[in-house]
A and B are shown apart, each in its own frame.
Chain A
Amino acid sequence: MAEYFTARGLPVPRELRQNPLTDWRRLTLIAAALIVFVIGLRVTNLDLSRANPEYSAQLLRQLFQWDLTILTPRNDFETFWDTAEGLMVVTIFLGIIATVFSVVVALPLSFLGARNIMSGNRVTAAVYVFIRLLFTVVRSIDVLIVVIVSAVLLGIGNAAGVIGLAFHNVGVLGKLYSEAIEGIDPGPLEAITATGANRFQVIWTAVLPQIVNPYISFTIYRLDTNVRLAPILGLVGGGGIGILLFQSINLLQYGAAGLIIFMIVITVAAMDFASAQIRRRLV
């Protein structure tokens, strides 16, 4: 093949010149990845010598000896909302409420964070840069960190959990929404602008119809994630079923812990399935 090019005095394309198995660039890359892995193993020093197989096996068995008493109020002071399933419901709603709050904030901000809408003049372009920077900063602070901080500021409980989730999600949804706007077909925008419509009318008529579906899809995706995260928040003071899980583990009530973990798995799986179904129908 290569003779074809050399015979005609043409440069031989790299695809023909190079055997992929001896390409030094590929080999270097593979070697680098191996070196990082080996160094990582030494640095992290994974140590299993302290594990006690018999104790672990016993513990695993206990996790499946479910303590069904947590499903009913255990004394006169407790209500449905103190039972495991009551707290599970609360937890799901923590995720939902946090999503609603973050949508309310991220939705209007996302328009200010879309380059194609804001590139008109210098002021709006500056706003765009600021908003996207804000999204990035907010997004980079993990949910657990925000929950810990707000649990300190506001006290342990549902409020801390919701704020932690909502805060992080403003960053994530803001970015996703803004990128959805940036990905729209600019043709209709141009055409509607040419009719003499103002900026608001252009957004209303040409942008909104193009972003409704991606917005719904992203929102459900984040709702899914938030409901999935909500049970963990109790471990750091964010309320919900996580608190009960944390307590049972500390009190060595592994039967209760096992049941709670099972409930969380079921909820997350159901959520995952529902979210995938809805989003599949949207695209």
Chain B
Amino acid sequence: MTAVLSLRNLVKVYPSGTRAIDDVSLDIHRGEFVVLIGLSGSGKSSLLRCINRLIEPTAGQVIFDGVDVTRARGADLRRIRRRIGMIFQQFNLVRRASVVSNTLAGRLGYRSSWRTIASRPSPEDIAAAFENLGRVGIADKAFARADALSGGQQQRVGIARALMQRPELMLADEPVASLDPATSHSVMKYLEEINKKDGITVVCSLHFLSLARRYGTRVVALKAGRVAFDGRPEEIDERRFKEIYGEDAIEVEIGPERSVPQPMSATEAALIAMAEDTGHGPPPEIR
């Protein structure tokens, strides 16, 4: 099996000095459903964004289908990007535009600037847009404004937009972190379907290990920018889990996003204790 995506000694250091990705090497094969897990700040988003160069890697290589993405410039880079779909935690739709025009935006990489402003979308593109919206079950919402949709529906538009690119690889950055458990599963099932039916390789970061176990064919865990685990989902036992998430972590099915206690200042701790003393319960989220 040849790797559709190879990361070689990838490093990302932000201007602030944070080493978000620290020497990551991975081979991802065609048809895999790779789930990225790791604590908040472990570098999942940074890694995904280095793959299609939404952010610039500091060192190392990204090889997509034999082509060095890290060296590509201008039109070459855009030709690579259009073969890689991406969906986001915040859906990132153009909120004021209709669902169908958001979907059609997935074809931009195949159109010239001039045609973007001067001509209407081709009948084939429109047909494809409706087909993809139909696949994710929201063709009836095609002419609604994107911000009139629920979160789950918006994420499905995000998937339809990515499908318009006819991608070989799909990147998903916490696609269900803003959704409730039931909706999360419905969105994940569409990702599973395009992975199984269309053979699109998926690299998806997730917060919940339960979702990772359910949908991933392979789990890669990041810890402080390094690969802490790489294997089949069922290999993650209690010990490995604690290695990835830290000693104090407990696995939850679905629940509060943070299962790990965050460092807290003395004053914060006191305020919480005080609130509990007075019977008001903990104050809302201190960040």
Contacts and interface: CB of A to CB of B under 8 A. Distances in A.
3 residue pairs, one from A and one from B, having the closest CB atoms: A196-B109, A196-B82, A187-B92
Nearest to A207: B94
Nearest to B49: A190
Contacts of A250: none
B286 interface: no
Nearest to A8: B270
A12 B21 CA distance: 40
B96 A197 contact: no
Interface stretch (B58-66, B83-91, B127-135, B247-255): B83-91
> Taking chain A's interface residues, is the majority helix, strand, or loop, or is none over half, making it mixed?
helix
Contacts of B220: none
A10 B116 contact: no
A4 B110 CA distance: 66
Interface stretch (A20-28, A107-115, A198-206, A258-266): A198-206
A185 B95 contact: yes
B42 interface: no
Interface centre among B90, B96, B105, B162 (most CB of A within 10 A): B105
Contacts of A190: 54, 88, 92
Contacts of B86: 191, 194
Contacts of A192: 94, 105, 108
A5 interface: yes
Interface in A75-92: none
Nearest to A13: B267
Contacts of A198: 75, 78, 113
B70 to A, nearest CB: 16
B36 interface: no
Given A194-B84, A195-B106, A197-B78, A11 B266 contact: yes
Interface in B91-130: 91-97, 105-111, 113, 116-117
A195 B161 contact: yes
A204 B270 contact: no
A206 B96 CA distance: 10
13 contacts: A191-B92, A191-B105, A192-B108, A195-B85, A195-B106, A195-B165, A196-B109, A197-B105, A201-B108, A201-B113, A204-B117, A206-B94, A210-B96
B158 interface: yes
B52 interface: yes
B274 interface: yes
A269 B83 CA distance: 57
Contacts of A193: 54, 81
Interface centre among A190, A197, A209 (most CB of B within 10 A): A197
Nearest to A205: B105
B79 interface: yes
Contacts of A4: 270, 274
A188 interface: yes
A195 B102 CA distance: 11
Given A10-B266, A197-B108, A191 B88 contact: yes
Nearest to B84: A194
Given A10-B267, A10-B270, A188 B79 contact: no
B33 to A, nearest CB: 20
Contacts of A194: 52, 54, 81, 84-86, 171
Nearest to B107: A195
A50 to B, nearest CB: 60
A188 B97 CA distance: 11
Given A5-B270, A200-B113, A195 B81 contact: yes
Contact of B88 (A10, A187, A200): A187
Interface in A1-38: 4-5, 8, 10-11, 13
